[in-house]
Amino acid sequence: MTELIPNVDETAQRPRVVLVGPPGAGKSTIARRLARALSLGLVDSDELIEEATGKACGEVFAELGEPAFRELEAAQVAEALKTSGVVSLGGGAVVTASTRELLADHDVVWIDVSPEEGYRRTSSDDTRPVLLAENPREHYRNLLETRMPLYHEVAGFRIRTDRRTPQQVVADVLGHLDSLV
């Protein structure tokens, strides 16, 4: 017996754009404004983790430790990538190989920030346990150095947010998306 398979538009349930980048780069802010500008929904992988666990993302990270947290995060990212609209991933999502593999089929924009500005934006935020260290400034710089090749691997477009308003960054992302059509 032959099974009829409906003709499904495979692009119907895929994000218009996926944002990656380090903590403090502005992914959440840019994602909200970008979703609004495109009249699309927004899915934030950190919010999915919070909904799934009933706890703040930083608290989940602190309780589980990084390896178990990354496993949970990868599952939530996989779900987020099945949606349409704008998807914003947590800063460390790219460290997981399975996540990087999934991102290969998506339009990924790297929201970047200098080490100095990223540190400034995150230094007073105690909800980010991944940044807690004896020397937070050096830890942030090392985090960026480690993840930079991974962001580069998955992203097709990179934009720096230093000394730029969210409106300017969103305009650049929109310009990039328009160039793909």
Binding residues for ATP: 24-29, 128, 164
- The stretches of the chain forming alpha helices (DSSP H) are 27-38, 45-53, 57-64, 66-80, 97-103, 115-122, 136-154, 166-180
Note the residue count of the chain.
Answer: 181
Binding residues for Mg(2+): 28
Least confident of 21-25, 125-129, 130-134: 125-129
Binding residues for substrate: 46, 70, 91, 147
> What's the chain's average pLDDT?
89
Question: What are the structural domain ranges in the chain?
Answer: 15-176
Please answer whether residues 94 and 20 qualify as being in contact, where contact means their C-beta atoms are separated by less than 8 angstroms. yes
Q: Which of 93, 53, 52 is nearest to 74 (CA)?
A: 93
Any idea which fold 15-176 has? Rossmann fold (3.40.50)
Q: Render pLDDT for 11-43 as a digit per residue (tens, 0 to 9).
A: 458 899 999 999 999 999 999 999 999 999 999
15 strand-pairing partners: 85
Binding residues: 24-29, 46, 70, 91, 128, 147, 164
CB atoms within 10 A of CB 177: 17
